[in-house]
Structures are given as structure tokens and as C-alpha cells.
Amino acid sequence: MIGLDEAQLRSFAEAAGAIAAALSARALLLLTDVAGVLDAAPEDGGKLLPTLSLDDVARLKAEGVITGGMIPKLETACNAVSGGCGSAVIMDGRVQHCTLQHFFGEGGVGTAVVENE
């Protein structure tokens, strides 16, 4: 850690999301220390959800599947996508070369948030 607290990190992520939306970026990559969005708690055998639409995020939040620190991450992702960014990926930064794997590998590393179909 580089000495930033959670509030500062959240502010930086929100700013990055706003910039990605304003630029209509292809993707916003949010590197974190979790695998991505799971369909249940890890201790309950939660599996990674590789892609979520904006509606999926709202539904999972209402159902209580999305909780804790994942809420601000997904709010930033949803704001970026609804503002014009192509997708926002909550990416497992613990995975070596995760950005290369996402763009050029066989499947992404984390959860991509996209517009509703």
C-alpha cells in the first residue's frame, strides 16, 4: 500500500470513472484485490460473474448479493458505463499481467460491467 486510505482510493476511482465516461473510453479498468463480483459469499462457494449489465448490478444489490466494499466499486463502474464508457472491469490486480489477459487472453480477469442489452 502506498499510504492512501480507503476514502482517498475511492475518490481516485470515482475521478477515473468520470474521466473514462467523459472521454467515452473503450474500458475503465479498476484493479483491486478481489477476483471480481461473485454470485455468493466466497465461503458459500461464490462463483465469479464475468459480465454484468447495469440492470444486473441493480438487481444483485437489491437482493443483497453485492455488499460491503464491492458497492462503491460497482457504483463507479456503473456511473462510468452509463456516462459513455464502453465497459468497466473490476479486475483482480493480484493476477500477473491481468490487463493483458483481459484484452488478449482467453477470457477476462474479473467482472465487466456493460450497458443493458
DSSP strand E in 1-117: where? Answer: 28-32, 51-53, 88-92, 111-114
What's the pTM?
0.89
The residues facing 89 across adjacent strands are 29, 112
Tell me what the mean pLDDT of segment 93-105 comes to: 88
* DSSP classification of residue 35: -
Q: What angle do CA 103, 21, 32 make, to 5 degrees?
A: 50
Each residue's pLDDT tens digit, 103-117: 887 766 899 999 998
Task: Return the higher-pLDDT residue of 102 and 73.
Answer: 73
pLDDT value of residue 28: 96
Q: What is the CATH number of domain 6-114?
A: 3.40.1160.10
CA distance 89 to 15: 15
- Judge residue 20's burial from the number of C-beta atoms within 10 Å of its C-beta, 0-12 exposed, 13-18 middle, 19 or more buried: buried
At residue 117, the pLDDT reads 82
Mean pLDDT of 93-104: 88
Read off the pLDDT band of 2 (50, 70, 90): low
